[in-house]
Structure 1
Amino acid sequence: MRHLSVLGKYFWKYRLRLSAGILFVVLSNYFSVLSPQLMRFIINYVDKALSLTKHDFVENAGEYDVLVQKVIRWIDQERTVAQVVVVGSLVILGLALLRSFFMFLMRQTIIVMSRHIEYDQKNEVYAKYQQLDTSFFKQHRVGDLMNRIAEDVSRVRIFTGPAIMYIVNLVSVIALSVFFMLQSSKELTFYVLIPLPLLAIIIYFVNNTIHKKSERIQEALSDLTTNAQESYSGIRVIKSFVQEKNMFEFFRINAETYRKNAISLAKTEAVYFPSINLLIGISTLLTIMIGGLYYINNEHNISLGTIVEFVVYVNMLTFPVSAIGLTASMVQRAAASQKRLNEFLDIQPEIQDSPDAKDVKLEGNIDFNNVTFTYPDTGIVALKNFDLHIKKGEKVAITGRTGSGKTTVAQLLLRMYNAQEGSIQFDSIPIEQIRLASLRNQISYVPQDVFLFSDTVENNIRFGIPHASKEAVREAAKIAGLEKEIEGFANGYDTMIGERGVTLSGGQKQRISIARAIIKDTAIVIFDDCLSAVDAKTEKEIMSRLNPYLEDKTAIIITHRVFSLLQFDRIIVLDEGAIVEQGTHEELMRIPDGFYARLYARQQEGREE
C-alpha cells in the first residue's frame, strides 16, 4: 500500500468528489440495511396478529433504527394485517429506490473521479517522458514505456475508482449490518460472524501471492508488448530476411510466459473467490440452524422475523465480503503497477536546466574547449580532448570514418548529453547556463536518423514552428528540393505520411527533415549526414539553394561525403574522437596521403564511373 500513498495528491485535488462519493456510498447502504428491519417487523406483526405460533417474544422498539421506528409508528395505525403488509412492502420498495438513486450518484462521483485521476496520471507520465534525456531512452525498451502509460495507469485507475468504491461499500455495509445485528441479537450475531476471522486469515496469505504473481504478469506483458512493437516497426526487415517463423517463435515464447503467469494467477483466484462464498454460505446455514433452534426452544427472544432479518443481513454481506478478494486483487495489482510508475517518475534526468540557467539569444559563436565525452551506456569514448572554435557565420564541415565522433558533436551542441570533461560555450556563455528550451529553439537540426510523424507533409515540415504560414512551408520545401515532388502527391501538402514516413522514399524523408529545420530560420544550423539517401543531381539542386540560405548563419555540416558546391570556411577531419586534419579544401588536398585527400579522390572516382 505504501506505493499507492503517492496518489494522495490526486485524492486531495478531487476531495469534493471523493467526499461526496463516500457520503453517497454510506447513504446507499444505510437505506439498504433498513429493509431487513422492516421485514422483521412485518413478519412479527403477521405472526402475532394471526397467532401463527405460541412463542412469546418481546418486540423491543429500541432495537430498530430511529427512522424505522418512525415508519413503524406510521404503518401501525389502525390498519388491517393486509394493509400493513402492503404498506410495508411499498416502503421497502421506496428504500430500494433510494438506495439505487444514491448508488447512481456514488458512481457519478467516485468513478468519474477515477477517470480524472487517470487523465492526470497519463499526462504526468507523458510529461516525464518529455523531460528524460537520450540515455534513458537508449536503456529502456519502447514496449515497456508504452506498457507503463497504458496498462499500469489503467490498473491504478481501477484502484482509484472501483476499488475505493468497494472498500467504502464493504466497510459501511459491514459496520451498519453488524451494528443492527448486535442490536437485534448478540448471541446470534456471534455465531453468524464466526467464519469472518478465518476469512481474514485467508485474505492475508492469498493477497501476498496475488501481489507477487501480478508483478510477474506485468513484467511478462512488458516483454510481450516490446516484442510486438519491434515486430510491427521492423516488418519490412523481417520479411526481406524471411524471418517470420523465427520472430513468431520469439513472440510465442513471450506469449507463453505471459499465459503461464496469467493462468497461475487465475487458478489462485479460482480457489480464492469460491472459498469466500463458501464461508458466506456457512454463515447463512449457521443463522438458520442456530436461529431456528433458539426459536424452537423459545430462547434469547428470537422470533421468525429475527431469523429472516439475519438471513437478509448475511446475504447483504455476501457481495461486499466476497468482494474483499476482488478488491484485494485490485489493490495488489494497482500497487504493483504504481511501484513501476513510482520507479519511473522518481528518475531524475541528467540533462536539465541549472538553477542559474537563462534565456540567451545565440549569435552563432561556438567553442569546444578540451572536451572529452564517453557514452554512459556503452563506455565508448566518442571525443578526446576535443578543441573546436567556430565563429559567427562560419561554414564548417565535419567528416571522418564511421564511429569517429561526428554525430557526438551535434548531440553535445544540443545538450542531449553533458560532456564529462572540458566545456562547451555559445558566445562565451557555458552551455549549462542556457535554458534547454532556449538553446534548442535557436538551433536548426537535421538528425542522421530521420523521424517523421503520422501526419500530413505540411504538419511534418512545420513541426518546429506550429503556426508557420503555408508560404513559409512551401519556401522551406523549395529550398529542400522537395516542392515538385510534393505537388505530385495525390493531396499535395495535405498528403498523410504513414508511420515513421513509411510511404516515402529515403530521400524524400531526408528532404522533409531538412525543410523542417530550414523553416525555423535560426542563427545556427546543424546537418548530420542529411543527404546520404539522395542522388547526385538532387544533391546539387539542394546545395545550390542552401548556399544563399546559409549565407549569414553558422552552419555545421556533418558528412561522409565532400560537397564541392558548398564553400566551407573549414573542414574538420575526425578520427577516434580527435581532430586529425583541418583546413580549407585546398589546404587539405595539399596534405600528402591525407585522409581528406583520399576521401575526395575516392568520391571523384565513384562519380566518374
Structure 2
Amino acid sequence: MKELRHLNKYFKKYWLKLLLGIIITIIARVFQLVMPSYVKNSIEVVENYVSNQLEESAARDLLLEYILIIVGAALLSGFFTFLMRQTIINVSRYIEYDLKNEVFDHYQLLSLNFYKKNRTGDLMNRISEDVSQVRLYAGPAIMYGMQTLTLFVCLIPLMFIKAPTIAFYSLLPLPVLSILIYQISRIIHKRSTKVQEYLSTLSTFAQESFSGVSVIKAYTLEPQINSEVRALALEGKDKSMDLAKVNAWFFPLMILLIGISNIFVIYVGGKQYLDGQIESVGTIAEFILYVNMLTWPVAIVGWLTSIVQRAEASQKRINEFLKEEPSIKSEVAQKTQISGKIEFRDVTFTYEDTEITALHGISFTVEQGETVAILGKTGSGKSTILELIARLYDTSSGTILIDDVPIKEINLESLRSMIGAVPQDAFLFSDTIRNNIKFGKEEATEEEIEEVARMSVVHDNIVGFTNGYDTILGERGITLSGGQKQRVSIARALLKDPQIYLFDDCLSAVDTETEEEILNNLKRASENRTTLIVSHRVSSAKNADKIIVLEGGKILQQGTHNQLVAQEGYYKDLYINQLSEKEN
C-alpha cells in the first residue's frame, strides 16, 4: 500500500471528521451486539414459561421488555450507521475533490513536452476513473473496515467468554478464509492494473475518434473505426472477465465458510446442550446470530481487499504523473514588471520529442513598442520563436532576455500575464462566444467585448447568429469557420491588453481586405506595445518596424520592408509573387 501513502496528507486534513466517524461506527456496532443476547434471553423466558418456572404475565412482561430493547438497539444502530455514512463517506468525497484538483493543477504545471508524450484520453482517465477508484479506498473501505474490525474486536472475545468450545469451532474456517483472500488479492491487483490501463487506451481512442469525426466521415472510415472499436471492446471484455472471474470466488467462499460455521454451531452447541454443558437452547440461537453477524464483515474482507488493490493500482498510475517534474519552472517568486523589450542572443533550440533543431544561433533585438514581422517557409522556425518568448520551452543554448533580464530570471506568471498570444491553430472552448472572448479578461464589460470584436472584424458575424454573443460553440469552436475562429482569438488577445502581442499566422484564413482592416486596427491597438507577427504574407509584414526572414532556422534577411524590397532575395521574390497574385 506504499502508493496510497500519498493520501495521508488528506487524512490528516480531515482527521477530526474521520475520528468522529470512527467513534460513531464503534457505537453503531456496539448497539448491534446488544440484540443476540436479548434474543437468547427471550428464548430462555419461553423455556422457563414452558417448564412452569415463570407465570404467563411475568413472561409476557419480560418478552415485551426484551423486544423493546431489541427494537430500540436496532433503531439506534441504524441511526448511528446513518451518521457514520454522513461523516466517513463525505470525507471520501472531499478527498476525491482535493485529489482531482491536485492532479489537474499539476497537469497545468507540466510543460508541452509532457502533452506530446501522453495522450489526452489517458490523462482524462487518470483524473476520472483512477481517482474514483481511490475514493472507494478513502471512504467505503475505511467505513466497512472499521465496522469489521469493531465486530471482530468486540464479538470474538464475547463469544469465547460465553461458550469457548462453540466459539472455537464456529471461528475455525476464518484462518482458511484469510489465506484464500491473500492469494486471490494478489491476482486481483495484477488484473486491476491491466483493466485500468485498458480504460485509458479506450478513452484515448474514443476521444480521438470524436475529435476527428469530420475526417472519419470524409474518408468513409466508419467501418474501419467500428472494427477497431470491436477489437478494443473484445480486449476490454477479456480483461474485465479475467478480473470478474477472480472476484466471483469471494462471495461463494464466504457463504460456504459461514455455512460451515453455522453447522459447527448447531452440531457442537446441540451436543453440549444434550450433555448439559450449556444451560439453554438460546445460547445456540445467540451464536447463530453471532456467526451470521460475522457473515457480512468476513465477506467485506474480500471486497475491501479488492478495493484496496484497485485503489493501489489506480494511485500508482496517478502518482506516475504527479511525480513528473515540469521542465519549465518559475525560478523567481517575486512578481516582475515587464515593459516589452525582447532580445535573442545566439539562441539554438532542438525539440526533445523529434530531435529536430528548429533554430540555429538566432540573434535579434525587438525594442519596446516595436512591431516585428517574421516570415519564412514552413518549418523555418517562426512559431518556435514565439513559443520561446512565452517560455513554453527553454532554449537548448543561448539566452533570451526580456527588458535586458534573462527570461529564466523573470517570474513565469508575470511573463505570461503580459503576453497576448494568438496561436496558428486558433483554439476555442465549448462555451459561449462571449466567454471565449472574456477568457482574456474575466471582468470585461459588454462594451469592451464588443469593441475588441469590432477591432478584429468579427462583431457583425456574431450579431448575425440567432443567439449573438450567447451562441454556444461546439468542441474546439467547430461552430465557427476558420477565419471566424481566428478573429475571435484575436479579440480575446486584444481584450487582455498585454505588453507583448504574439500573432502566429493568425490571419491565414481571412481574405486580404479583412486582413488589411484587422491589421490597421491592430496597429492602433498595439501602439506602445511590442508586437511580433508571424506570417506567410508580405501584406501582414510590410508595415512592421522590422522584418526578419528565416530559412532553416537561421536569419536569412533582416530589415524594413523598403530595405528588403530593394535587395535581391527571398523577401523580394515573395513580394513580387504575391503582388502579381493579387493583381490577377
- The separation in 2 between residues aligned to 1:550 and 1:103, in whole angstroms, is 65
Deviation at 1:84, TM superposition (A): 1.5
Q: Note if 1:80 corresponds to 2:40.
A: no
Deviation at 1:549, TM superposition (A): 2.1
Deviation at 1:598, TM superposition (A): 2.3
Q: Which residue of 2 aligns with 1:349?
A: 326
Deviation at 1:79, TM superposition (A): 5.9
Of the structure 1 ranges 157-166 and 565-574, higher mean CA displacement relative to structure 2 is found in: 565-574
Q: Which residue of 1 aligns with 2:396?
A: 420
Give 5+ residue unaligned stretches, structure 2. Answer: none
What SS is found at the alignment partner of 1:519?
A: helix
Deviation at 1:565, TM superposition (A): 7.6
Deviations 1:204-235 (A, max 9, x none): 01001111111000000000011111111111
Spell out structure 1 runs of 4+ moving beyond 3 A: 76-79
Amino acid at match of 1:382: A
- The separation in 1 between residues aligned to 2:540 and 2:58, in whole angstroms, is 111
Q: Note if 1:95 corresponds to 2:70.
A: no
- The separation in 2 between residues aligned to 1:551 and 1:87, in whole angstroms, is 90
Q: Which residue of 2 aligns with 1:219?
A: 197
Of the structure 1 ranges 131-140 and 213-222, higher mean CA displacement relative to structure 2 is found in: 131-140
- The separation in 1 between residues aligned to 2:9 and 2:403, in whole angstroms, is 43
Deviations 1:373-431 (A, max 9, x none): 11111111111111111111222111111111111101000000111211111110111
Deviation at 1:544, TM superposition (A): 2.3
Q: Which residue of 1 aligns with 2:307?
A: 330
Q: Which residue of 2 aligns with 1:555?
A: 531
Q: Which residue of 2 aligns with 1:588?
A: 564
What SS is found at the alignment partner of 1:353?
A: coil
Q: Which residue of 1 aligns with 2:187?
A: 209
Q: Which residue of 2 aligns with 1:477?
A: 453
Q: Which residue of 1 aligns with 2:572?
A: 597
Of the structure 1 ranges 10-19 and 192-201, higher mean CA displacement relative to structure 2 is found in: 10-19
- The separation in 2 between residues aligned to 1:5 and 1:395, in whole angstroms, is 53
Structure 1 residues 434 and 77: CA distance shift in structure 2, 3 A: farther
Q: Note if 1:576 corresponds to 2:561.
A: no
- The separation in 2 between residues aligned to 1:492 and 1:565, in whole angstroms, is 33
Structure 1 residues 602 and 357: CA distance shift in structure 2, 3 A: farther
Q: Which residue of 2 aligns with 1:24?
A: 24
Q: Which residue of 2 aligns with 1:152?
A: 130
Cα pair 1:400 1:560 within 8 Å, conserved: yes
Q: How does 1:185-584 map to 2 (within 5 A)?
A: 185-299=163-277, 301=278, 303-354=280-331, 356-563=332-539, 566-584=542-560
Deviation at 1:187, TM superposition (A): 1.2
Amino acid at match of 2:13: K
Q: Which residue of 2 aligns with 1:62?
A: none
- The separation in 2 between residues aligned to 1:575 and 1:190, in whole angstroms, is 86
Structure 1 residues 296 and 78: CA distance shift in structure 2, 3 A: closer
- The separation in 2 between residues aligned to 1:41 and 1:515, in whole angstroms, is 81
Deviation at 1:605, TM superposition (A): 2.9
Amino acid at match of 1:403: G
Q: Note if 1:12 corresponds to 2:9.
A: no
Deviation at 1:497, TM superposition (A): 1.7
Amino acid at match of 1:379: E
What SS is found at the alignment partner of 1:452?
A: coil
Amino acid at match of 1:392: Q
What SS is found at the alignment partner of 2:327?
A: coil
Of the structure 1 ranges 314-323 and 248-257, higher mean CA displacement relative to structure 2 is found in: 248-257
What SS is found at the alignment partner of 2:428?
A: coil
The CA RMSD over aligned residues, in Å, is: 1.7
TM-score of the superposition, structure 2-length normalised? Answer: 0.97
Aligned length: 584
Deviation at 1:564, TM superposition (A): 6.0
- The separation in 1 between residues aligned to 2:508 and 2:297, in whole angstroms, is 66
Q: How does 1:94-133 map to 2 (within 5 A)?
A: 94-133=72-111
Cα pair 2:542 2:561 within 8 Å, conserved: no
What SS is found at the alignment partner of 1:563?
A: helix
Deviations 1:499-520 (A, max 9, x none): 2111110000000001111112
What SS is found at the alignment partner of 1:581?
A: strand
Deviation at 1:540, TM superposition (A): 1.6
Give 5+ residue unaligned stretches, structure 1. Answer: 54-75
- The separation in 1 between residues aligned to 2:83 and 2:300, in whole angstroms, is 21
Of the structure 1 ranges 565-574 and 384-393, higher mean CA displacement relative to structure 2 is found in: 565-574
Amino acid at match of 2:211: S
Structure 1 residues 598 and 104: CA distance shift in structure 2, 3 A: same
- The separation in 1 between residues aligned to 2:149 and 2:308, in whole angstroms, is 16
TM-score of the superposition, structure 1-length normalised? Answer: 0.93
- Report % sequence identity: 47
- The separation in 2 between residues aligned to 1:546 and 1:41, in whole angstroms, is 91
Cα pair 2:189 2:310 within 8 Å, conserved: yes
